[in-house]
A and B are shown apart, each in its own frame.
Chain A
Amino acid sequence: MITNQLALIKREIWEHRSIWVTPAAIAVIVTLGVLAMLMFASGFAAELDAAIFGAQNLAGEPERKAALTAFFLSTSWVFIIALMILTVFYSLDSLYAERKDKSILFWRSLPVTDAETVISKLITAIFVLPAAAVLGIIGTHIVNLVIASLWVSMKGGDGGMLVWGSVSFLDNWLAAFIVVVASGIWMSPFVGWFLLVSAYTKRSPLLMAFMPLILIGLLEGIILRTHVFAENVLARGDGLPIFRTVDIERFIETEEWRVGEGASSLLTHLDVVQFISSPAMWAGVAVCALLSTGAIYVRRFRDES
Chain B
Amino acid sequence: MSSLVSAQGVTKRFGSFTAVDNVSFEVEAGRILGLIGPNGAGKTTLLKALLGLTDCEGELSVMGLDPFKQRKELMQNICFIADVAVLPRWIKVTQLLDYVEAIHPNFSRKRAEELLRQTKIKSDSKVKELSKGMVTQLHLSIIMSIDAKLLVLDEPTLGLDIIFRKEFYANLLNDYFDEERTILVTTHQVEEIENLLTDIMFINDGRILLDSPMETLGDTYIEVATSGEDADRARGLRPIAENQMFGKSNMLFEGISREHLEGLGELRTPSVADLFVAKVKGARS
Contact = CB atoms under 8 A, between A and B. Distances in A.
A99 to B, nearest CB: 11
Which of A10, A15, A101 has the most CB atoms of chain B within a 10 A radius of its CB?
A101
Interface stretch (B24-32, B79-87, B199-207, B228-236): B79-87
**Size range of the interface on B?**
35 or more
B33 interface: no
Interface string B68-89: 0001111110111110111111
A109 B75 contact: yes
A101 B103 contact: no
Interface string A64-108: 000000000000000000000000000000000010011101111
Contacts, number: 80
Contacts of A112: 72, 75, 103
Interface stretch (B51-59, B171-179, B215-223): B51-59
B18 interface: no
A305 B40 CA distance: 11
Contacts of A111: 72-76, 103-105
Task: Name the residue among A6, A7, A110 with the largest chain B CB count within 10 angstroms.
Answer: A110
A270 B72 CA distance: 44
Contacts of B92: 14
B99 A11 contact: yes
A102 B154 CA distance: 15
B104 A106 contact: no
User: Could you tell me the dominant secondary structure of chain A's interface residues?
Assistant: helix
Contacts of B81: 109
A303 interface: yes
B250 interface: no
Interface in A3-21: 3-4, 6-7, 10-11, 14-15
A7 B85 CA distance: 21
A303 B54 contact: yes
Contacts of B100: 110
Nearest to B45: A305
B269 to A, nearest CB: 34
Which secondary structure dominates where chain B touches chain A? mixed
Contact of B85 (A14, A109, A303): A109
Contacts of B48: 303, 305
A301 interface: yes
B102 A6 contact: yes
Contacts of A304: 84
A7 B84 contact: no
A57 interface: no
A172 B193 CA distance: 67
A305 B44 contact: yes
B44 A110 contact: no
B76 to A, nearest CB: 5
Contact of A113 (B71, B88, B89): B71
Given A7-B99, A303-B48, A305-B44, A110 B85 contact: no
B237 interface: no
B91 interface: yes
A113 B85 contact: no
B99 A10 contact: yes
Interface in B169-212: none
A111 B55 CA distance: 17
Interface in B33-49: 44-45, 48
Interface of A: 3-4, 6-7, 10-11, 14-15, 98, 101-103, 105-113, 301, 303-305
12 contacts: A3-B102, A7-B98, A105-B84, A105-B85, A106-B85, A106-B88, A108-B71, A109-B81, A111-B75, A303-B54, A304-B84, A305-B45
Given A7-B102, A305-B84, 6 more contacts: A6-B102, A15-B90, A102-B86, A111-B72, A111-B76, A303-B53
8 closest Cβ pairs, A-B complex? A105-B85, A7-B102, A111-B75, A103-B88, A111-B76, A106-B85, A113-B72, A111-B72
